[in-house]
Amino acid sequence: MNEHDVRILRHERLSDGHLKLEAYEIEHRRFDGSWMEKIRREVVRRGAAVAVMLYDPQRDTVVLIEQFRIGAYMAKRSSPWLTEIVAGLVEPGEDPAAVARRETLEEAGCEILDLVPLYDYIVTPGCLDETVTMFCGRVDSSKAGGHHGLAHEGEDIRVMVKSFDEAWAELHAGGLDNSIAVIGMLWLKINREELRRRWI
């Protein structure tokens, strides 16, 4: 089945703030070919994003960032300051690789030396239209650290450099508890030796 098996009966914009919230009344085909009765669904319109797992093969380190997240606060996590990987939204007409380079500079103060595409996936398709294009970026972690982010976007980002083993232990201890960071670390665990052969 595809988009032709969905009918939009009604659309309503509920919120036009930092996030765009919309409501839809729809009907769609069932697997047996018949049409399901009308249902109502709300969706947060977020759009396309890019995430970058930053890795220094020379030092076997990863560059992570930490910042406050309202969702983690509302979910009653142990701390609403999350350890994450670099990520940002794609503006209309932007190339995802260019966004990866821009966000890495803005959020971590690093220049990407090489970029490997990983995945393109939907984050939470039950209520969110956000897609993530993920990369692994080679960086020189000796130049990483400090505080970054754009003040006009309300960002206050702390940059951390950790050995791969430290970051992997943190993942297993529950300190990396957001999906983008987990996916990036799992990919790096599987592909780390190949990256080191290619990049060193």
Identify whether the C-beta of residue 43 lies closer than 8 Å to the C-beta of residue 129.
Answer: yes
Identify whether the C-beta of residue 105 lies closer than 8 Å to the C-beta of residue 192.
Answer: no
Average pLDDT of the residues in 8-13: 96
Does the pLDDT at position 125 exceed 80?
Answer: yes
What pLDDT, on the 0 to 100 scale, is given for residue 156? 87
Q: What is the DSSP letter of 59?
A: T
Average pLDDT of the residues in 183-197: 97
Residues 22-46 have pLDDT tens digits of: 999 999 999 999 999 999 999 999 9
In this structure, of 124-128, 154-158, 171-175, the range with the lowest mean pLDDT score is: 154-158
What pLDDT, on the 0 to 100 scale, is given for residue 32? 96
Residues 61-83 have pLDDT tens digits of: 999 999 999 999 999 988 999 99
The alpha carbon torsion through 43, 44, 49, 54 (nearest 10 deg) reads -110
Active site residue 193: no
CA distance 200 to 197: 6
Residues 45-61 have pLDDT tens digits of: 999 999 999 999 999 99
CA distance 154 to 150: 7
Identify whether the C-beta of residue 121 lies closer than 8 Å to the C-beta of residue 131.
Answer: yes
Catalytic hit among 153, 155, 166, 194: 153
Q: What's the one-letter identity of residue 145?
A: G
Architecture of the domain made up of 48-199: Alpha-Beta Complex (3.90)
Q: Which residues make up the CATH 3.90.79.10 domain(s) of the chain?
A: 48-199
Q: Please give the model's pTM, rounded to 2 decimal places.
A: 0.91
Does the pLDDT at position 149 exceed 90?
Answer: no
- The mean pLDDT of the chain is 94
Does the pLDDT at position 147 exceed 90?
Answer: no
Residues 83-104 have pLDDT tens digits of: 999 999 999 999 999 999 999 9
Does the pLDDT at position 13 exceed 90?
Answer: yes
For 76, 86, 94, 106, the CA distances from 110, given in Å and listed in that order, are: 32, 11, 20, 8
Which two tokens mark 86? 């670099």
Half-sphere exposure of 111 (CA within 13 A, CB side): 2
What pLDDT, on the 0 to 100 scale, is given for residue 143? 82
- Extended strands (E) in the chain: 6-16, 20-28, 39-45, 48-56, 61-68, 81-84, 86-89, 114-122, 131-138, 147-148, 157-163
Does the pLDDT at position 153 exceed 90?
Answer: no
What pLDDT, on the 0 to 100 scale, is given for residue 26? 96
What pLDDT, on the 0 to 100 scale, is given for residue 155? 77
For 23, 57, 68, 136, the CA distances from 191, given in Å and listed in that order, are: 41, 12, 30, 10
Opening angle at CA 118, ends 114 and 124, nearest 5: 135
